[in-house]
Amino acid sequence: MFSDLSFNYLLVVIATMVISISLHEMMHSVAARLLGDTTAEDAGRLTLNPLKHIDLMLTIVLPAVLILLHLPPIFIAKPVPFDPRSVRYGEYGAALVGLAGPVTNLVLAIVGALAVRIGGIDMFSGVGQAAGIFIEINLLLCVFNLIPLPPLDGSRLLYAVAPEPLQRLMYQLETAGFAVTILLLLVLSPFISPIVSNVVSNLYAILMH
């Protein structure tokens, strides 16, 4: 993925990212609202408007630079604000809010794969290649966001089961800001990227065969 830098390819990638990230972030807000927390709704994040969810530097510039440098891209949107103390079921409710985004991307990938298979779309055609990009990016967003590193969604799952000392460490990491998380992801990239790529490839193969 991301080896082709043609205009049409990049156009499909950008369109997919805008749609998929907007849905991902909105569903965090929906889940929080259903569980009793209105923080995201009050902040205007209960919307499909991509301008509310996409950060110019983190969502567009950073991954574009990494792709041009032939490095694994990192896709980060504006975090959806929510108060874990306000959602029902405590840390388990917060974990459900965290899961809402990756599950949305997985559902989008499944819908894309079903459309290809039911529609008999040729994967070598323009439409087929665009569908393949859509499916693969949504699988990537799903798997990447499940990395248990704050503030990624997977950290909410870890919070729910982690002992208190680890929770305190994760909280310190989360409050340190995006710069620390991005640095850690870049440092750990040689170890994380092969795992993420392997999981995405296996899921893609399951959906498409």
Task: Just list the catalytic residues.
Answer: 25
| Nearest one of 129, 118, 108, 126 to 203, comparing CA atoms | 108
Identify the three-state secondary structure at position 197.
Answer: helix
Q: What is the DSSP letter of 52?
A: G
Do 28 and 101 contact (CB within 8 A), yes or no? yes
Give CA 167 to chain center in angstroms: 22
How is residue 3 written in tokens? 């080896």
- In order of 9, 31, 124, 139, the CA distances from 129 in angstroms are 9, 32, 6, 15
Residue whose tokens read 């965290």: 98
| Nearest one of 113, 114, 117, 87 to 100, comparing CA atoms | 87
